[in-house]
Amino acid sequence: MIPSPFTFLRGAAVVMAHDLAGTPRTGIRAQLCGDCHLSNFGGYAFPERTLLFDVNDFDETLPGHWEWDVKRLATSVIVAGRENVFDDSDCRRAARGAVASYRNRMAEFSEMGELEVWYSRVSAEDFLAASDIFLGWLRGRAGRDFYWRQLRDMKGAAKIACLSPEELALYARICGWALARAHARSGDRVQIAGYLGKSERFDEAIADFAEAYADQTERDHATLCAAVKSGRIAAAVDA
């Protein structure tokens, strides 16, 4: 968490969840990524060995308010853009693009049937995600729930620090698309799409939040670094 505000954000999912718990919510729930940031999306192989794009980290997945994932994704776009020394306008444009993509794709998913949503995908050609409908939830003997899937050894991930402003904007839109699909499969996509509407008001509101929370992330990171430097907190640093 020490190297940069972006690495801090990546490691501070529980901190942001605590902060989000006090914000307004719609009451519409979905199965969340729980740690939705740019580096937790990537490519992997479908059973037919087609390379697909999707959320790829489920360590913090939980049922929750869908807007929390959207807010964390948009914040990560702003923080990553600033770390790449992009203009504020470029950072905001990329964050707004991620949210607009989420909103527009959710509108499309709201008009689809269950199987059509489930089998929608983003391949290496068109960047939509997919999984086998027969892979998913399993309850063990002790009553614990597990999410399971079989993946090939084909994987891919974007190098966020190497992206240009235009590439970040494109990647953010793809991530927004993949997140919309994940929520459409697990939540009430018609309700979510109805709440989002057709205007850009939601996009702007989340971009405002993302900029404000990016500021907070930078302050929290600076506070942590100062605490480590003073010796108040011990930190392990990779060699």
pTM of the shown model: 0.86
Backbone angles phi, psi at 32, to 5 degrees: -85, 155
Q: How confident is the model at residue 129 (pLDDT cuts 50, 70, 90)?
A: very low
The confidence score (pLDDT) of residue 145 equals 58
11, pLDDT greater than 60: yes
CB distance 34 to 137 below 8 Å: no
Lowest mean pLDDT across 108-117, 140-149, 165-174, 197-206: 140-149
Closest Cα partner for 70 from 95, 40, 107? 95
What is the percent of the chain where pLDDT is above 90? 72
Digit-coded pLDDT (tens) for 130-189: 445 444 555 555 666 555 454 455 667 789 999 999 999 999 999 999 999 999 999 999
122, pLDDT greater than 80: no
Digit-coded pLDDT (tens) for 24-59: 999 999 999 999 999 999 887 766 667 788 998 888
The confidence score (pLDDT) of residue 156 equals 72
CB distance 165 to 87 below 8 Å: yes
Task: Name the β-bridge partners of 234.
Answer: none
